[in-house]
Amino acid sequence: MADDYLVRIGRLIRDARQHRGWTQSQLAEALNTSQSAVNRIERGNQNISLEMIARIGEALDSEIVSLGYAGPMHLRVVGGRRLSGAIDVKTSKNACVALLCASLLNKGRTVLRRVARIEEVYRLLEVLNSIGVRTRWINDGTDLEIVPPAELDMEAIDAEAAVRTRSIIMFLGPLLHRMERFRLPYAGGCDLGTRTIEPHMIALRRFGLDVAATEGHYHAVVDRTVRPDRPIVLTERGDTVTENALLAAARHDGVTVIRNASSNYMVQDLCFFLEALGVRVEGIGTTTLTVHGMPVI
């Protein structure tokens, strides 16, 4: 169930939008997002940052939430006391999107616990649903069940949702094991600048994947005769580059060594997920990963 404060904020946004006479589609266009995302925000079914609240307020010319205090403020802090207790921490968005992409490796049912209900996740779910993957929220909406079809329908991919997320680039690793050729819309979501797909391709070419970027799509072709017979040295110690290499190595029938890998928490979470699928990963938390892949998961 959505937190009460999200519901209250959603109602404030809905009222401000209606006061201005805008539809959800008009607000979505002003925010450069989707109408479904605005609908989720207004229903309190999506986490929302202070930055997004400020953007919505600016678009609607309405102060949704007032932050700060105009007058002088004096604080006296008395420290030197031992603290104790426990809190529930939020789950990681970055780890979650990697696991959503990794679910394409599994031919069976995947259940992810405590999934962050944020726009990036919803966009990826829209893409997965469009190519035939069945997803549903379970256990009061805290967990996510994912069931892939026998064959993915890449021709039916929701291009509008795909171009709104840069995470779509992490489909390359899993898809190269499922299809001989496929295409993906350009990865979007933010201005990537010099962060092109080349660091990804340096790793994925070692698994036989060749990609040409033309006409708004990545056109991918897989050569099954190419195998990573020596260690892969990543040219960029990035999280998504490391994750893509891991996703490709997971179903490679053999041992893959990945050097200059990111050791960040989201990469470690992906490694733990792969181990839950039966893939053995050595060196978790270090910059050298050794993956003992499985051709069928």
**Contact in structure between 233 and 240 (CB atoms under 8 Å):** no
232 band by pLDDT with thresholds 50, 70 and 90: very high
Give the predicted TM-score (pTM) of the model.
Answer: 0.73
Cα end-to-end span (Å), the chain: 33
pLDDT digits (tens, 9 = 90+) for 100-128: 999 999 999 999 999 988 888 999 999 99
Give the tokens for residue 157.
Answer: 């991919």
pLDDT digits (tens, 9 = 90+) for 257-289: 999 999 999 999 999 999 999 999 999 999 999
Catalytic residue (one of 96, 101, 190, 271): 190
Closest to 211 (Cα-Cα) out of 187, 236, 242, 235: 187
pLDDT at 220: 92
Using alpha carbons only, what angle is made at residue 25 by residues 23 and 30, rounded to the nearest 5 degrees? 100
Radius of gyration for the chain, computed over Cα atoms and rounded to the nearest angstrom: 22
pLDDT digits (tens, 9 = 90+) for 90-100: 788 788 999 99
Percent of the chain with pLDDT strictly greater than 90? 54
* Residue 237 in this model has a pLDDT that exceeds 70: yes
Closest to 142 (Cα-Cα) out of 111, 185, 103: 111
The pair phi, psi for residue 196, each rounded to 5°, is -85, -175
* Residue 213 in this model has a pLDDT that exceeds 60: yes
More confident: 50 or 129: 129
- Residue range 59-68: average pLDDT? 75
**Beta pairing, strands 280-282 & 255-259:** unpaired
Residue partners of 223: CB distance under 8 A and separation at least 6 = 208, 210
Q: What is the DSSP string of 87-119?
A: -PPPPPHHHHHHHHHHGGG-SS-EEESS---SH
pLDDT at 5: 81
* Residue 66 in this model has a pLDDT that exceeds 80: no
pLDDT digits (tens, 9 = 90+) for 136-164: 999 988 899 999 999 999 999 998 888 88
pLDDT at 180: 92
pLDDT at 186: 82
On average, the pLDDT of the chain sits at 88
- Residue range 58-84: average pLDDT? 75
Percent of the chain with pLDDT strictly greater than 70? 93
* Residue 193 in this model has a pLDDT that exceeds 60: no
pLDDT digits (tens, 9 = 90+) for 1-22: 446 888 889 999 998 898 888 9
Catalytic (active site) residue 271:
no
Going along the chain from its start, the domains and CATH numbers come out as: 4-60 (1.10.260.40), 93-292 (3.65.10.10)
Closest to 208 (Cα-Cα) out of 220, 199, 195: 220
- Residue range 59-64: average pLDDT? 82
